[in-house]
Copies of this chain bind each other. A is one copy, B any other.
Amino acid sequence: MTTHSPTIGIIGGGQLARMMIEAATPLDLDIRLLAASPDDGAARIWPRTTIGSPDDPIAVAAFAAACDVITFDHELVPESVLIALEATNVRLAPSAQTLRIAQNKQKQRELFAAFGLPQPRFQLATTMNTVQTAGADIGFPLILKAARGGYDGRGVWAIAGPNDLMEVAQGPLDQGIVVIIEERVAIERELAVMVARDEQGTTTVLPTVETIQIDGICRQITYRADGDHAQATAIAHSVADAVGLTGIMAVELFQTAAGLLINEIATRPHNSGHGTIEALACSQFAQHLRAVAGLPAGSTSALAPGAVTVNILGGSDGSDPRDRLHLVRDGNVHVHLYGKVARAGRKLGHVTLIGDDLADLSERAWHAVELLTNEKRPEMRR
């Protein structure tokens, strides 16, 4: 518990940092930002920005010296930066240990196994021989993952058979990266749950959402206040304790006939939680900063029976959503743009609608995204 407002350093200038800053200003929190470029989404909206590489240990350590606590808009913090930060006296939220777990799917799987948390069957392999044996044990089709280095679907492969497995596994193994061979579970739905945890270990779980990915990229997130949040909530509490979290994290889950299984985690605000800005009394960004700053948790009360968030991915003709805001005449569409230059396929923002009828909200959200990007919506499949 701090009695004075701490200086919070945010490392990385992407949209998560940007939305943290948006949540910080009403509380007048003392925020400093380290961003690679003044054109980064967060840097464009924050005066107390230092320009420097978030991957450079020297730049990060110099930045951290003026802060009481450091947090991150991404979990892929290089080991050299973590070591440099640990050599300072500054508090990290999340801690270096938590980040090392978040960066490594092997550590996650082993940790969750030790805590008895539900997850797909898996085996680890460091050689082609053990890959072959593990593949046969787990059974085809299966999922192959690199223990580190991937996000947004990178570093994860759907494997049909043994030849496929051997071919794909060669890449990571050649780089000395452990691979994980996991059962391919029959996924009914993909879910995600955000959980915040303060330095005293008090956890606050936000309502579970359903996510829909297309080509490994999250495109739509839906939430119902009256949904069944019990099992996901219990898992989220345990995962937050297991990784020793400070701040907020996402736990991505598979809903299967056998119940919920943990897919992966991200120890930061997360795309699946963007709808909390409108749908909950306290957004994921405000919850994160509250935990980081040592403030009491915000309320998880729902402001609406449901919410739908759809990501804005840059359209193929390079249309800039900033120039197309006037086309969205539905006054209940909450548009969030991240201050990025428009490029095809780039995540430029999201829209959220809150209300009761999820099908209607989804239709209107996608319509707004079509208008903003000048691009037809993709086929939706579960």
Contact = CB atoms under 8 A, between A and B. Distances in A.
Contact of A296 (B293, B296, B326, B349): B326
A207 to B, nearest CB: 15
A304 B293 CA distance: 29
A329 interface: yes
Contact of A47 (B22, B44, B296, B303): B44
A28 B295 contact: no
Interface stretch (A1-9, A163-171, A174-182, A223-231): A1-9
A201 to B, nearest CB: 17
Interface stretch (A106-114, A185-193, A334-342): A334-342
A58 interface: no
A348 to B, nearest CB: 9
A299 B332 contact: yes
Contact of A331 (B47, B298, B331): B298
A232 interface: no
Q: Is the interface on chain A under 10, 10 to 19, 20 to 34, or 35 or more residues? A: 35 or more
A27 interface: yes
A297 interface: yes
Contacts of A297: 331
A337 B336 CA distance: 23
A328 interface: yes
A160 interface: no
A282 interface: yes
A322 B24 CA distance: 12
Interface string A314-336: 00000000110110110110111
Interface of A: 1-5, 18, 21-22, 25-28, 30, 43-47, 49, 281-282, 293-301, 303-304, 322-323, 325-326, 328-329, 331-332, 334-339, 349, 354
